[in-house]
């Protein structure tokens, strides 16, 4: 639904996210979740432990989180604030890179 917004709607959403960023406040609706029980495969539907909870959160909140994450990641990468050895959760880095480094040192 958000992808189908026109350029005006996307700009409006960006302005809302930027205001949230500047004020350091998150709208309550972005934090609320609707919890839905999902039956596990091959489990008895009469048993409570046969269900796992799924939290449905705000799509707008998810877009805002992704925007903030990208901004912070860009800032950390461009200012050299991440350790060179860190490979987890970094683009163009893999766990295998660390294993290879350890293997070479050994």
Q: What are phi and psi of 54, to 5 degrees?
A: -120, 130
Domain ranges of the chain: 2-105
Q: Summarize pLDDT for 55-106 with one digit per residue, the tens.
A: 999 999 999 999 999 999 999 989 989 887 777 777 777 778 888 888 899 9
* Predicted TM-score (pTM) of this structure: 0.69
SS (H, E, C) the chain: CHHHCCHHHHHHHHHHHHHHHHHCCCCHHHHCEEEEEEECCCCCCCCHHHEEEEEEECHHHHHHHHHHHHHHHHHHHHCCCCCCCCCCCCCCCCHHHHHHHHHHHC
Q: Do residues 22 and 64 lie in contact, with contact meaning Cβ atoms separated by under 8 Å?
A: no
Q: Do residues 80 and 67 lie in contact, with contact meaning Cβ atoms separated by under 8 Å?
A: no
Q: What percent of the chain has pLDDT over 90?
A: 72
């Amino acid at each position: 639904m958000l992808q189908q917004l026109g350029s005006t709607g996307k700009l409006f959403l960006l302005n809302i996210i930027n205001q949230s960023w500047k004020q350091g406040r998150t709208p309550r609706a972005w934090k609320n979740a609707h919890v839905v029980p999902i039956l596990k495969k091959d489990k008895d539907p009469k048993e409570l432990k046969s269900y796992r909870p799924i939290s449905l959160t705000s799509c707008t909140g998810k877009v805002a989180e992704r925007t903030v994450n990208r901004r912070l990641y860009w800032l950390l990468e461009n200012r050299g604030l991440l350790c060179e050895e860190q490979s987890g959760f970094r683009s163009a880095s893999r766990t295998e890179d660390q294993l290879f480094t350890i293997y070479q040192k050994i």
